Chain A
Amino acid sequence: GQQVMQIPQYQHVQEGEDFTTYCNSSTTLSNIQWYKQRPGGHPVFLIQLVKSGEVKKQKRLTFQFGEAKKNSSLHITATQTTDVGTYFCAGKDSSYKLIFGSGTRLLVRP
């Protein structure tokens, strides 16, 4: 079945440093989504990428979708303590299901 792998599992950075998490799918995706889960909270939708090679930005966050539509990345520039949480990618094929990656937990030292 379809699998979505996400690395790294954890990332501990100093405030102000950059952060990147990577997502790889075993199959071609129709779209990929990113979610953020704050400690103790529930996942919240951040963004969706649909087109091959698409790049979207949200303030300090940059999201990319690979040319083959099988991988994606989220890059945060100059992390802040408010960025703490777990970031999940979720890939969608033609079904009703989203397949979530295992998540990257970001810790930021002030």
Chain B
Amino acid sequence: SQTIHQWPATLVQPVGSPLSLECTVEGTSNPNLYWYRQAAGRGLQLLFYSVGIGQISSEVPQNLSASRPQDRQFILSSKKLLLSDSGFYLCAWRQGETQYFGPGTRLLVL
């Protein structure tokens, strides 16, 4: 069966520090992968999606970037975090028409 992992589960970072969040998928090949952000009590904002290695589409221009160095690995990065980057970051993969979400990373920028 397919599983999706995210780490770390929680992260507290100072403003201006770099960020790297990792997402890996097991049990499938060449998945479509997505990064979402959810602000506290809000909906899901699509940040990036990828249909294959090295292929990244950005939905919202901001100080975040994404990379897909391997088929089942999706990384979200920032060179300098802002206070507004705080939120719940969710990775998802697509099977058919359905998206399956990872457990998420809660990021607090202070």
Task: Please list the residues of chain A having a beta carbon within 8 angstroms of any beta carbon in chain B.
Answer: 6, 31, 33, 42-45, 48, 88, 90, 92, 96-103, 105
Q: Which of A42, A45, A103 contacts B90 (CB 8 A)?
A: A42
A-B contact pairs, 22 of them (CB 8 A): A6-B43, A33-B97, A33-B99, A42-B90, A42-B101, A42-B102, A42-B103, A43-B44, A43-B90, A43-B101, A45-B98, A45-B100, A88-B43, A88-B44, A92-B97, A96-B32, A96-B51, A96-B94, A97-B46, A98-B46, A100-B44, A102-B42
Q: Is the CB of B98 within 8 A of A48?
A: yes
Q: Is the CB of A31 within 8 A of B97?
A: yes
Q: How far is the CA of A53 from the CA of B82 in the complex (A)?
A: 45
Indicate whether A105 sits within 8 Å of B100 (C-beta atoms), given known contacts A96-B49, A96-B51, A97-B46: no
Task: Please list the residues of chain B having a beta carbon within 8 angstroms of any beta carbon in chain A.
Answer: 32, 36, 41-44, 46, 49, 51, 59, 90, 94, 97-104
Q: How far is the CA of A1 from the CA of B65 in the complex (A)?
A: 22
Q: Which of A6, A31, A45, A102 contacts B99 (CB 8 A)?
A: A45
Contacts of A101 in B (CB 8 A): 43
Contacts of A92 in B (CB 8 A): 97
Contacts of A96 in B (CB 8 A): 32, 49, 51, 94
Min distance, Cβ A109 to any Cβ of chain B, angstroms: 19
Q: Which of A45, A90, A98, A105 has the most CB of B within 10 A?
A: A98
* Residue of A whose beta carbon sits closest to that of B100: A45
Q: How far is the CA of A49 from the CA of B28 in the complex (A)?
A: 25
* Residue of A whose beta carbon sits closest to that of B92: A43
Q: Which of B43, B97, B102 contacts A103 (CB 8 A)?
A: B43
Min distance, Cβ B25 to any Cβ of chain A, angstroms: 14
Contacts of A33 in B (CB 8 A): 97-99
Contacts of A102 in B (CB 8 A): 42-43
Contacts of A98 in B (CB 8 A): 46, 99
- List of 7 A-B pairs having minimum Cβ-Cβ separation, nearest first: A102-B43, A100-B44, A42-B101, A42-B104, A103-B43, A43-B101, A45-B98
